[in-house]
């Protein structure tokens, strides 16, 4: 006998978001961040992540304005870039340089990771850009160092590095840095490319066709 399970995509979508609404404490978030939290929860299945969200300013509005003005989205990992639904941002350049030949050379020169070196190579595009970090803590640390040293300032930072070495500390460093740049992050070890991409995809949730 065939297994009995929900096969209709629209019904799967409806039930998923109904569960999120029932289980997650979204009412404590500013309205613009609720759509982002829903997408992040949908990406990871963890309805308790709301309590660990931290932000400054209005990252959603800042990112939306930047994108509407033609700013690129800079991703630290190809998985983040691939997870961003291009159809939601048809006129936006989504940049990930991790595979470029100069990254390895830059990493050796700076004695750091390829992820941090990628951030170094963002300099020409970073001013006013939207940053999505969903992999390496070193990328977020390097971004903070770059900005604090007087480098270009992005319009908004969505910082979700994941793991056991530096992830907690890099996100706390973002919170403590007080750069005056709108940001959204997730305290603790949790994070990842799927969450970062989901947060960016949520920026288009108020646009026609954004149900995908």
130 DSSP β-pair partners: 73, 156
Contact 97, 118 (CB under 8 A): yes
Number of CB atoms found within 10 A of residue 16's CB = 15
Helices 31-44 and 9-23 meet at what angle, rounded to 10? 120
From 34, 38, 39, 42, active-site residue = 42
**Cα(77)–Cα(202) distance, rounded to whole angstroms?**
18
Pairing of strands 130-133, 94-95: unpaired
Give the single-character DSSP code of 184: E
Number of H helices and E strands in the chain, helices first, is 10, 6
Tell me if residue 42 is catalytic.
Answer: yes
Burial class (CB in 10 A: 0-12, 13-18, 19+), 149: exposed
Instruction: Name every residue whose Cβ is closer than 8 Å to that of residue 63 and which is 6 or more positions away in sequence.
Output: 130, 155, 156, 158, 182, 200, 203
Question: What distance in Å separates the CA atoms of residue 46 and residue 68, rounded to the nearest whole number?
Answer: 31
Known catalytic residues are 42
């Amino acid at each position: 006998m065939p297994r009995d399970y929900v096969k209709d995509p629209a019904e799967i979508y409806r039930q998923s978001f109904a569960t999120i609404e029932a289980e997650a404490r979204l009412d404590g978030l500013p309205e613009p961040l609720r759509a982002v939290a829903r997408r992040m929860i949908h990406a990871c299945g963890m309805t308790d992540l709301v309590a660990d969200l931290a932000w400054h300013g209005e990252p959603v509005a800042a990112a939306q304005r930047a994108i509407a003005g033609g700013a690129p989205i800079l991703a630290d990992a190809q998985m983040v870039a691939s997870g961003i639904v291009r159809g939601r941002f048809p006129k936006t350049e989504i940049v990930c340089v991790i595979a470029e030949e100069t990254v390895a050379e830059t990493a050796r020169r700076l004695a750091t990771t390829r992820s941090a070196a990628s951030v170094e190579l963002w300099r020409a595009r970073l001013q006013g850009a939207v940053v999505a970090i969903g992999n390496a803590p070193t990328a977020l640390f390097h971004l903070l160092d770059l900005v604090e040293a007087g480098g270009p300032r992005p319009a908004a930072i969505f910082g979700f590095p994941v793991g056991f070495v530096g992830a907690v500390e890099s996100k706390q460093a973002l919170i403590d840095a007080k750069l005056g740049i709108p940001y959204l992050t997730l305290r603790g070890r949790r994070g990842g490319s799927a969450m970062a991409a989901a947060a960016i995809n949520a920026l288009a949730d108020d646009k026609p066709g954004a149900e995908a």
